[in-house]
Every structure is written in structure tokens, then in C-alpha cells.
Amino acid sequence: MKPLLFFSSILLLALFSAPLLAEITLTTVAETEVTEVDARGEEIVRRTRANRVVPGSEVIYTITAKNSGAEPADNVVVTNPIPEQTVYVDGSAFGAGTEIIFSADGGKHYDAAGQLTVKQADGLSRAATGEDYTHVRWHLAFSLAPGEEAPVGYVVRVK
């Protein structure tokens, strides 16, 4: 095979393969809420890209899974490690049509909120709280159709 033809084939293959490799795109956005007062004196809560974040601030993460391919995607599972220096705000995880589970041991074991336990220094176990969570995971209960987006997310408080 001539080198030129060889490279062309590779290029063609790459062009066709690319959409297949990126059937689902995943985007993470960190936002903060700002309360502003409008001209009529009413408070509006506006979301902006996370800024003015200080210890104690709450930051909203939204992870959007989009099906960019031509085939429906099944059994979509989105996982997000809770960032360092932040704690999960209890009850904050959201995601329409998803089952939300958590891990309190670095992602080894997942279960529903309230079902997890952690070992204390004295060796006894206690119920895990948001502060113990290390990961949040969403199981999409539906099939993600081509072009469809599924936003999920949660809120953290900066330590």
C-alpha cells in the first residue's frame, strides 16, 4: 500500500470513528446563586458561574449528559467524586428520573442516602451524613434518546 493511501485510510477511519467514540458528552458546570433586587424591589435569585466563593459558600454542580449520537443510550450511570475541600449538602442531589446513590468510602460501595454507615474512631459504626459522602452517583431510569439531555447535580459547601 502506498503511504499516502495508508494515511488517507487512517484519516477516514478516524473521521468515522469520532462520532462513535463521543456518543455521550458530559459537561460539568459549577455555579453560585446571587440574590439581586430588581427595579420593582423584588429579590431575584440568579445563577452565575461560581465566583465570590469563600469558606462556607454553597456551590451548585450541574452535570449534563447529552446523547450526541444516533442511537439511544441505556443504563446511563453518572458518577461525580465530591471535590476536596467541600462537603455534600444533605438532600441536595437532583436529577429527574434518576436513582441517586452515594458512597462514603471513596467509591467502593454505593447505597441510598440514609443506608450508608461509616466506622468511627472507636470502631463502632454510625449512620453516614452528607459530610461523610465521597461520591454521588445517578442511575438514569430511562433511555437517553439521540439529542436528549439529562441534567443531574448536587450542592456542596466549601469547607
* DSSP assignment letter at 45: E
Q: Give the DSSP H or E segment for 18.
A: helix 3-21
| Residue 36 within binding range of another protein, rule CB under 8 A | no
Binding of residue 75 to another protein (CB under 8 A): yes
Q: 116 to 155, contacts with another protein by CB under 8 A?
A: 144
96 binds another protein (CB under 8 A): no
- Per rule CB under 8 A, is residue 19 in the interface with another protein? no
> Does residue 156 contact residue 59 with C-beta atoms inside 8 Å?
yes
**DSSP state for residue 123 in the 8-state scheme:** S
Question: Sign of torsion, CA 147 148 150 151?
Answer: positive
By CB under 8 A, is residue 85 in contact with another protein?
yes
The reply to whether 86 sits near another protein by the rule CB under 8 A is yes
Q: How many residues in the shown chain lie near another protein by CB under 8 A?
A: 41
Over 112-126, what HEC string results? Answer: CCCCCEEECCCCCEE
Q: How far apart are CB 8 and another protein at their closest, in Å?
A: 27
81 binds another protein (CB under 8 A): yes
Q: Is position 76 an interface residue for another protein (rule: CB under 8 A)?
A: yes
Task: Give CA–CA dist 135/102, Å, rounded.
Answer: 6
| Interface with another protein (CB under 8 A), residue from 72, 117, 129, 134 | 72
